[in-house]
């Protein structure tokens, strides 16, 4: 769906994107993670032909961008750097104009497309208030509705849950999962670890303009070879396991062992009470911290 090779963008002496090689498969829910200033939005803008690369190659839906971007865009829904709208018009009027101006839209069923898009993002009851009177969350929903007008094969979204309350975030996450199940590939950028971990099946991590990590989420969060054991009999368990306990935190032990079921059986057979047992997995937060080198707001002396 999206492939880049050596994609680079420089502004004078500043390198915003540095040799990025994206690989987004059909059917992915791909999350591009990185702190503010890591190059995510510049990368997204290049994918849509809004910014020209300094060097490198881009393919979207199998076609080169920006050379064939006019053939690509009818099948792509996008929202970049917040939703765009005419502030003096209502949300419905804005969507009608977007639909009329966009590629491939027919007048005959325009009203139906607008109504369906508003309904899908939770704005079915929208009134005639101008967009300037909308909350940030309503504007975000409206931007997503605009991206859905064409029933896209590919959705490219930049911080799609910005400004939404927890319930709104959950609704948008459920909507994106539903769209993905129906065949839409979802590519989104975010600095929110929790949202990426809850939604995405594949993850890329940006740091200082570079793509420092890219893999399936399940692979990144594979078992570590340790087991977390909850037990009120910590002293007996530590003695029984003879050096295999790496950490004891209250009633939870971290044990070197490849098989939680076998470890549980061993403890129970020895009369150790076990209240919980599970394979330890790395959190996405730890994966990202291990892959990146800087904080977005850190300032160091030259």
Domain ranges within the chain, ordered by starting residue: 2-220, 223-281
Give residue 151's pLDDT band: very low, low, confident or very high (50, 70, 90).
Answer: confident
The per-residue pLDDT for 298 is 46
What's the rounded mean pLDDT across residues 36-48?
93
Q: In 3D, which of 292, 278, 281 has the Cα closest to residue 220?
A: 281
Over residues 6-10, the mean pLDDT reads 97
User: Residue 123's closest CA among 172, 190, 85, 182?
Assistant: 172
**pLDDT at position 296, please?**
52
Query: CB count, 10 Å around CB of 111?
Result: 13
Please state, in angstroms and rounded to a whole number, the distance separating the CA atoms of residues 92 and 90: 5
Length of the chain: 302
**What pLDDT, on a 0 to 100 scale, did the predictor assign at position 101?**
72
**Mean pLDDT on 145-168:** 88
Output the pLDDT for position 207. 92
Most confident of 101-110, 141-150, 217-226, 262-271: 262-271
Instruction: Say which CATH class 223-281 falls into.
Output: alpha beta
- Is the Cβ–Cβ distance between 121 and 142 less than 8 Å? yes
pLDDT band at 188 (very low <50, low <70, confident <90, very high): very high
Lowest-confidence region among 21-25, 60-64, 147-151: 147-151
Are the folds of 2-220 and 223-281 the same? no
DSSP three-state, residue 258: coil
In the DSSP assignment, the letter for residue 130 is B
| pLDDT at residue 300 in the model | 40
pLDDT for the residue 136: 83
CATH number of 2-220: 3.40.50.300
Give CA–CA dist 155/157, Å, rounded: 6
Q: What is the pLDDT of residue 295?
A: 58
Across 64-101, b (16+ Cβ under 10 Å) vs e yields ebbeebeebbebbbbbbeebebeeebbbbbbbbebbee
Better-scored residue on pLDDT, 232 or 159: 232
């Amino acid at each position: 769906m999206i492939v880049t090779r050596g994609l680079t963008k420089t502004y004078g002496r500043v390198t915003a994107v540095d040799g990025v090689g994206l690989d987004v498969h059909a059917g992915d829910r791909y999350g591009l993670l990185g702190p503010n200033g890591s190059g995510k939005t510049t990368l997204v803008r290049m994918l849509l032909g809004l910014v020209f690369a300094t060097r490198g190659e881009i393919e979207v839906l199998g076609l080169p961008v920006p050379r064939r971007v006019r053939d690509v865009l009818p099948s792509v829904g996008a929202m970049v750097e917040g939703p765009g709208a005419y502030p003096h018009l209502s949300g419905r009027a804005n969507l009608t104009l977007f639909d009329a101006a966009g590629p491939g839209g027919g007048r005959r069923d325009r009203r139906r497309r607008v109504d369906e898009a508003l309904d899908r993002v939770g704005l079915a009851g929208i009134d005639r208030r101008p967009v300037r009177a909308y909350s940030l969350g309503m504007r975000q929903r409206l931007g997503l509705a605009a991206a859905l007008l064409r029933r896209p094969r590919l959705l490219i979204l930049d911080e799609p849950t910005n400004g939404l309350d927890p319930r709104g975030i959950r609704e948008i996450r459920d909507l994106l999962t539903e769209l993905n199940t129906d065949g839409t590939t979802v590519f989104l950028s975010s600095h929110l670890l929790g949202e990426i971990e809850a939604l995405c099946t594949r993850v890329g991590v940006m740091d200082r303009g570079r793509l420092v990590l890219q893999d399936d989420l399940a692979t990144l969060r594979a078992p570590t070879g340790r087991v977390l054991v909850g037990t009120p009999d910590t002293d007996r368990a530590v003695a029984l396991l003879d050096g295999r306990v790496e950490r004891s935190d209250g009633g939870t032990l971290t044990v070197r062992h490849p098989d939680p079921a076998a470890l549980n059986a061993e403890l129970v057979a020895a009369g150790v009470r076990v209240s919980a047992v599970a394979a330890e997995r790395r959190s996405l937060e730890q994966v990202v911290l291990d892959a990146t080198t800087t904080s977005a707001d850190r300032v160091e002396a030259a």
